[in-house]
Every structure is written in structure tokens, then in C-alpha cells.
Chain A
Amino acid sequence: MNKKLLALLALLLTMMLVLAACNSDEDTSKPADEPDKTEDGGEKEEDGAEENAEEPASDDLFSVVLDNEGEAIKGGTLQVALVNDSPFQGIFSYTLYEDAYDSEIMAYSSNVLFDTDGDFLISDGGIATLDVDEASNKATIKIQEGVKWSDGEPLKIEDLIQPYLIIGHPDYAGVRYDSDFQNIVGAVEYHDGKADTISGLKKVDETTLEISFNKVSPAIYSGGDGLWFYAEPSHIVKDIPVAELLESDAVRKNPVTLGAFKFDKIVPGETVQFVRNDNYWKGQAKLDGVVIKTVPTASAAKALETGEYDLALSFPTSAYENVKDLENISLLGRQELYYSYVGFKLGKYDYDASLAITNEEEAKMGDKVLRQAMGYALDIEQVNEVFYFDLRERANSLIPPVFKSFHDASIEGYNYDPEKAKKLLDDAGYKDTDGDGLREDPKGEKLSIKLAAMAGDETQEQVISYYLQNWGEVGLDVQLATGRLIEFNTFYDKVQADDPEIDVFMGAWGTGTNPSPAGLYSKTAVYNFSRYTSEDLEGLLTAIDSPEAIDGEFRAKKFREWQEYMQDVSAVIPMQFRYELLPINDRVKNWDFGYDTDFDYIDIELVADTPVK
């Protein structure tokens, strides 16, 4: 073999490796069907609007409260694994970060101003309180006196204004300068450079900020309408030009914070070391510090088993089997703000007019009965049991049960019932007229449905073929659009462009803490991928975000009506809710993984010097 040939061979081999690596990376990183986790992490406390709050099944499956006992040692350092195959970005500013992993790290040093209740609505009890005056479209924020930054500087109203000045700045290049933000009076003028500051932000006195909005809606209590949840240390940040902020030491190396712990040392992308923040307004943490280190997915379970770490953040549920029986580990679990769904294409989006145009008559999936039959035919229960260890459950509505006051547990959803599916189809005239075992449409013409589904880990392929088989069993001919599973980016490109090749698609949303469905189902929403709209639907969506709905009960009622309506029109059929896990070593005491809790990081204690093996 001559040299050239050898070089060529070597190159080929390398390319094969790289290609193989592409696949393996997709398998191990976060599931491809998951749009990045949402930004607004809410802290929690009990309060607010709750009526007939049915306990979701989640609380039965896993405990959210750690019940380890034992005498605590003094101090100690909590060893935390952050399960992630890539480095974290290391943007430690709530105003600027984009990566969900950064926010998991920042939770230990949090700059959150408001406390929230079980529905993620702002409640009293945090550093700041919120008072909304609907009549004048104004919000008044009052901060407690005596709150200090981790460097000892007192928290000032300027620190509350600072994030607005960053996000609104012309040099700011993130997604947060959005239509919500423009709802603040004067935000657009500031962004366009016509004003030096945002006129709607008014410092009333040393502890009071008044914000004027163009309109206020109930979403303001979820941190919507342009309200910002976090503070920025203006005494440090204000002199750094916005364009340089992202790379500044104030963000990357030694961020100043308000939480239980403060940043001590950072190895970029790998490790963060926190120490106790003696200036924390709620008191002193019992731990000396926390070390958070990224750990690859492949060895996360092993790392817990051998007692290398006390707990694992972003623990992959696919590794559940490897940790569930470990003796040194307790598993806490809670439901995620997530649902997956089957969507049916019922129209097109007119990008010039920014309107979804529904055309049920002409759409192949225009018949409601057909859509419902397809929902009943899916054996999602079986899939959850076999492939997801029951860490996913059949979703009954389009609001995750985590939102206790808004989720309607009484909706039945589409539980697996192939006989019902067959009967629906029979009655509606979908009969097999040519004897090939597959149903024709009521006009007697062949019915072949194209499903778009995303590529994911190795189980995804099996899951989707099982669904196709389910539909085959009730006599429906469903084929994969493009003939195979579709890569994440391509999938959303096609779905968003209303590709005629797609009749049905399977997607998922991480919903964030604001449950308002307007962004996903209103007639102007680009993300209303099924393109279904109607006057009734618009009416409900408007009511949910109307000023009347600031009254919690009215809003909850409209949420229920909306979920029932969506169940009835079945343009989008909910598929699964899912759980997230927090495995914790037995030496850790006092932890509450629930959304609705008084838990604070200062309460954590350890009962041994090293993690239990």
C-alpha cells in the first residue's frame, strides 16, 4: 500500500469515527425532542389561588421530601454532580444566561427577588413584594430593608432597574427583549436609542420601584408582561458596557449574588465552588460550601453508587434502572413542566399577515372523529411502562398537573381504547372497502396519513414504530413522512413551514412557569403548529389573560374551559407528562424537591464527613 492510499484510508476511518460519534452524542445528550429548558426558574412558597387542587399522581410515585435522619456534622461541603456531556457555558447572570445548566448552578447563589407559590405565581415572603394596580396599569415593587449582596453592598432600587437597562439596551443580543418587555412604557424608545433610560421605571424611594406598563394581565404574577424576576448588582455592572458584559469577570469569574452561597472559584465549563454567603438575608447556611462538577451521562449512576457525589442535577431518567435499587441513594422525583403531544395539521400560517388560517374542510385530518380515533388508538400506557419505567404518564390535558389550580384532573383524555377508536371510525364511515385491511375515507378513497416524528435516542425508533403499529391495528394506514425519523432542527423547520408532506406530527413543549397557552394556541402564534383557531378558542385565550382573570378563580375556571375545549376539538392530543429525578446520598439531610415548599439551601445539613458508599 502506498502512502497516499494509507492517508486516504486514515482519513476515511477518521470520518467514520466522527460520524459514529455524531450518533452516540445524540444518544447521550438531552433528548432531541426537548426544546431547551425554560429560563424562569421560580422559587416557591405556599399561598395563592387553589381550589379543588387534586394531588397529581406524581406525589405517590416518588417522595419530594428527603427523610434522612441522624446527627448533623458541623459545616461540610456538599458534592454536586451536574450531569452534562458538554461543558456548562458559565454565564452567571440571570439577565444574560441561555443555558439551563447555568441556571441550575445559579440556583445555589440565586438573585431571585420574588417568592412564588405552587402555581409559580408571585407571593409575599421573598426579598420583594409585588402590588399590581390594574386600573392604572402600574406595578409597585417594595424591597425589604437590610438585604445585602454577597460583597456586603446593600441591595438598592438601582439593582432592580439594572436588568431592565441591560435587556432593553440596543447592544443586548439575547431573546429577552421581546414583545413582553416592550410592554413596559418607554422600553422601545430606550431600545431605539431615543431615550437614555426607560421612562416607565420610577424609583419612588429607597425601597420602592414603580413600573408602568402599557397593559397588565394575570401573566404578570408569573413574571410575564415584562416584569423581571431578578436583580443585578448595579454597583459593579453599571460601568461595564452592555456589549462587553458577557465576557466580563462580573459575569464569568466572580459574580456577586444574593443567595445562600456565593461564588468562590470557577474552573470554566467544569467546576464551580461555592462558599457560605455570610450576608444572606435569610440567615447563614449550615454547610461550609458546595462544589458542583459536570459529570458525563455515561458514568452518572456509577458516580452516585461509589459515593463520589451527594446528588446529581439533571439526572438522566434513562439511567433510572441503575440507581433505583442503590442502598446509599434516596430518589426524589417530581413532575416536569412538560408535555408531549400529537398535532394535526389543519391549516397554514400566513406569515405576511401573521395569522394562522384554519381550513378543516380541505385538510386531510379535518375530521374531528378521525383525530379522536387516532388518539384512542395509541397505547401510550404500554410505552410508558416498557420504555420509560413509568417515569412518563399518559397526559390528559395540555396543562401539566404541576399547575395545581389550572390543571383539570377531571378531563379523561384519550386513554388507550382501540375498540372505541374502531367504533368511532366505523360510525363515521371509515370502512375498508377494498379488502386490504386498511380503512378508506368516507368517500371510499384511500387514506394514507403521514406522520412526522423526531429522531432521538435508541428507544425512540421502537416507540414510534409501536405507535404506527397501534394505528395499523385499528385499520389506519399511517406512514412516516420522509420515510424515517426526522432530525430535531429539520423537524421544526418542516413543521413550522407547514410542509405539505406532514399530516400529523409528534412534538413536545417544556412549558415554563407561565401557564398561559396564548403563545402556543392563539391565531397569531407562530408556534401554533396545528394551525387550528376558532372564535371560541380565541375567546377563551383572551379571557385567560384578561384583566378579569387577575382574580384567580375566574382564571382557573377559564383554564378548565380551555382544556375541555381543546379535548373536544382535538386539534392537538396530549400524550405524556414526565418526571424528573433527584438522586441524593444518604448523608444529606433536609431537602425538599417540591415546587411548593419553604425549603431553602441554608437548611441543608450533612450527617457524615464523606458521602455514604
Chain B
Amino acid sequence: MWKTIIRRILVMIPQLFVLSLLIFIMAKFMPGDPFTGLITPETDPARVEELRIKAGFYDPWYVQYVNWIGNAFQGDFGRSYTFNVPVADLIGERALNTLWLSLLSVFLLYLIAIPLGVIAGRFHDSLLDKTIVLYSFIVFAIPTFVLGLINLFFFGYELGWFPTSGTVDIKYESGTAGFIWSKFYHILLPAITYALLATTGIIQYLRSEIIDSKSLDYVRTAKSKGIPINKVYSRHILRNSLLPIAAFLGFTITGLLTGSIFIETIFGYHGMGQLFIHAINGRDYSVITALVMLFGFLTLLGSLLSDIIMSIVDPRIRID
């Protein structure tokens, strides 16, 4: 197994290399550059040209690419053109915001979805099941920004239960308990919104797996051995039914860093999703390429993690 894992990691290198080449060339194909949006009647075109030359935009693409990849190997991903800070610092700051939000979101997601899925599957065709299925279809149909705005307007502004934008209240000193609480308080509403919306998949998988398992031989055997019905569900059925969810766990873990553009925009929570879109619109090449590379790496890593997790939870699957 270790051999396979190492091999998979080694294969990532050429994959990432191809990705970097593609994204670099395609980013340069986009019309305009970081300076296009800065032009006002008072901007001196000669100075803009000078800055473009300084930034190397007129070098052939392979020269630019070699420069970029050379620096990237030394951990220097360049500077953001729009934010004027090193890309690594910028991404680091946003990634941390996104990580906390995603962690809470995923936690709440499992907290809501797994019990609902289990209940719906166990009592299937009951009124309870039908209600849960109806709920899952409704949240599936609601666009993120609609529920986001409703939650923000109602719970944030009307009732005043939650903060309405940002990641932390300015009145707390960094590092104090109040500061940490304020951070948590700020991610609560966006996380709940995200969790509610994402439940459908898990509920549906879990429900159908449980319904299928009910009629399988091993469940009948367990029941006939006289094992209490609750135990049959919790020990036997649930374990097997969670497999498809476990299959996604790797992606879920690495997906914690991707962020959600809608949630971030509506709640004014500055994270990775927003950074990515902002970078594309502003032609912030250094940020675009760094982010795509990061997302690419995370996707590859996620698929590897998923395979490893599967081999652990499902003894029938072996990597070799």
C-alpha cells in the first residue's frame, strides 16, 4: 500500500506540471492585464508601458513561464498585482478564514444530514421520511444566494442574532477569548446556511443505502440471531451505508480550502472563493496561477485520500 501511495504522489508531479503549463498559458491568453483597469485620463500611457515591461509581460511566454516556475520552486509565487502583497501571504490569510468556515460548515452538515438520512431510511415511507425527503428536495432547489440573503436579512438584520458581515469585531484584541468567540460568532450563520443547503446529497445516499441494506442477508442473519433492532441499525446497517459518504471524505477534506463564492460575497466574509473570482476579473496573474495550482493539488490529494480512506473502512477494497 505504501508503495502505491508513493507512486501516486510521484505521478502528481507531471500532472501538476502540465496543469501549471496550461493555466499559465491560458491566463496570459486572457485579454487585458492587471493595469488595464487602473487607467484613468490622468494615467500616463508611457508609464503603464514601462510597468508592463518591468513586469515582463512582453517577454515570450516561455521566458515568463520559466521565471515563474523557477521562483515557485523556491516558494516565491510573486506579488499580487491588485493587492500589492506577496501571493503567499494573501492566500495564507484567506485560506485560514476559509478553513475555519469550512470546518464548521462540514461539521454542521454531518450533524444535520446523517441523523436525517438515518431516520428517513429506517422509517421509510412513513410521514417522517416523506417530510425529510421533501425538505431535502426543497433545499436542493433553493439557490445558495437566496437562502443566504434570507438568513442574513432575517436572522442578521431583523432579529439581530448574528453579525452581518466580516470575520471579526474590531473591538476585540487579537488572541483574547473574546476575539476567538467573535470569530466563531461570525462564521456561525454562513456555516449554517451552507450546511442546510448541502444536506441533500448525504440524506439521499444514506437513505437509499439503508433501505437497500434492510433486505440484505447479513441484516436478516443479524436479526434472526436476536440482536436488538437498534443495534442492527447502528452497528451493521449504518456502517455499510456510510461507505459512499466515506468515499467522498477525501474530497471533502481538501475541499475545505476552496471556499464558496456566494456565501463569502453575501456575508462579506473574505475567503478563497472570492479571492479567485476577484483575481480573474482583475487579471491578477500571479494569484490566479497560484490558486489554480493549489486547487489542482488539493483535488489530486483529495482523490488519493479518498482511496486510502476507502481501503481502511471497506476491507474489500485494497490498494496495490
Contact = CB atoms under 8 A, between A and B. Distances in A.
B117 interface: no
A299 B165 contact: yes
A178 B32 contact: no
Given A175-B47, A246-B84, A489-B283, A265 B170 contact: yes
Most interface-central of A173, A296, A520 (chain B CB within 10 A): A296
A489 B32 contact: yes
Contact of A296 (B46, B267, B283): B267
A298 B266 contact: yes
Given A21-B262, A24-B262, A265-B170, A519 B42 contact: yes
B54 interface: yes
Contacts of B51: 173, 175
Contact of A38 (B40, B48, B82, B247): B40
A179 B43 CA distance: 9
Nearest to A87: B270
Contacts of A305: 157
B189 interface: no
A228 B46 CA distance: 20
Interface stretch (A203-211, A506-514, A535-543): A506-514
Interface in B35-51: 35-48, 51
A268 B248 CA distance: 35
A311 to B, nearest CB: 16
A363 interface: no
Interface stretch (A25-33, A132-140, A462-470): A25-33
Most interface-central of B41, B43, B149 (chain A CB within 10 A): B41
Contacts of A25: 261, 265, 277-278, 281
A7 interface: yes
Given A271-B170, A295-B268, A10 B251 contact: yes
B152 interface: yes
A175 B48 contact: yes
Interface string A5-18: 01100110010011
B303 interface: yes
B93 interface: yes
A175 B45 CA distance: 9
A293 interface: yes
A479 B263 CA distance: 39
Nearest to A89: B83
B299 interface: yes
Nearest to A34: B37
Contacts, number: 180
A273 interface: yes
Contacts of B278: 25, 86
Contacts of B299: 11
Contact of A509 (B41, B149, B266): B41
B280 interface: yes
Contact of A89 (B36, B38, B84): B84
B30 interface: yes
Most interface-central of A87, A303, A490, A493 (chain B CB within 10 A): A87
A504 B262 CA distance: 36
Nearest to A487: B31
A91 interface: yes
Nearest to A265: B170
Interface in B233-267: 247-248, 251, 258, 261-262, 265-267
A22 interface: yes
Contacts of B167: 267, 270
Given A21-B262, A303-B164, A492 B32 contact: yes
B165 A526 contact: no
A306 B158 contact: yes
B195 interface: no
B153 A299 contact: yes
A241 interface: no
Contacts of A10: 248, 251
Interface in B141-170: 145, 149, 152-153, 156-158, 160, 164-168, 170
Contacts of A293: 165-166, 170
A580 interface: no
B45 A527 contact: yes
Contacts of A21: 261-262, 273, 277
Contact of B42 (A40, A87, A267): A40
A79 to B, nearest CB: 11
Interface residues of B, number: 62
Given A173-B54, A246-B84, A267-B168, A3 B306 contact: yes
Interface string A61-81: 000000000000000000000
B43 A178 contact: yes
Contacts of A519: 41-42
B274 interface: yes
Given A180-B44, A299-B157, A270 B84 contact: no
Interface string A98-128: 1000000000000000000000000000000
B138 interface: no
A511 B156 CA distance: 39
A269 B170 CA distance: 12
B9 interface: no
B36 A299 contact: no
A247 B85 contact: yes
Contacts of B157: 299, 302-303, 305-306, 308
A35 interface: yes
A295 to B, nearest CB: 5
A452 to B, nearest CB: 13
A494 B32 CA distance: 10
Interface string A138-179: 000000000000000000000000000000000001011111
A526 B45 contact: yes
B253 to A, nearest CB: 14
Contact of B247 (A6, A272, A306, A489): A6
A480 interface: no
Contacts of A269: 270
Interface string B258-300: 1001100111101001101110110100000000000000010
Contacts of B277: 18, 21-22, 25
Interface string B156-187: 11101000111110100000000000000000
Contacts of A98: 38, 84
A541 B165 CA distance: 48
A320 interface: no
A105 to B, nearest CB: 13
Nearest to B261: A21
B281 A512 contact: no
A87 B247 CA distance: 36
Contact of A489 (B31, B156, B158, B248): B31
Nearest to B283: A489
A294 interface: yes
A489 B37 contact: yes
Nearest to B173: A265
Contacts of B32: 488-490, 492-493
A218 to B, nearest CB: 15
A609 interface: no
B84 A24 contact: no
Contacts of B46: 178-179
A512 B41 contact: yes
A265 B168 CA distance: 13
Nearest to A512: B42
27 contacts: A6-B247, A18-B276, A24-B265, A25-B261, A85-B268, A89-B83, A91-B84, A175-B38, A179-B46, A180-B44, A247-B85, A269-B270, A270-B166, A273-B170, A298-B145, A298-B266, A302-B153, A303-B157, A303-B165, A489-B31, A489-B36, A489-B283, A511-B41, A512-B42, A514-B42, A519-B41, A520-B41
Given A36-B40, A178-B43, 15 more contacts: A11-B299, A18-B277, A22-B281, A35-B40, A86-B274, A89-B82, A179-B46, A268-B93, A270-B166, A273-B170, A298-B149, A302-B152, A489-B31, A511-B41, A527-B45
| Leading 3 A-B pairs by shortest Cβ distance | A489-B32, A178-B44, A21-B261
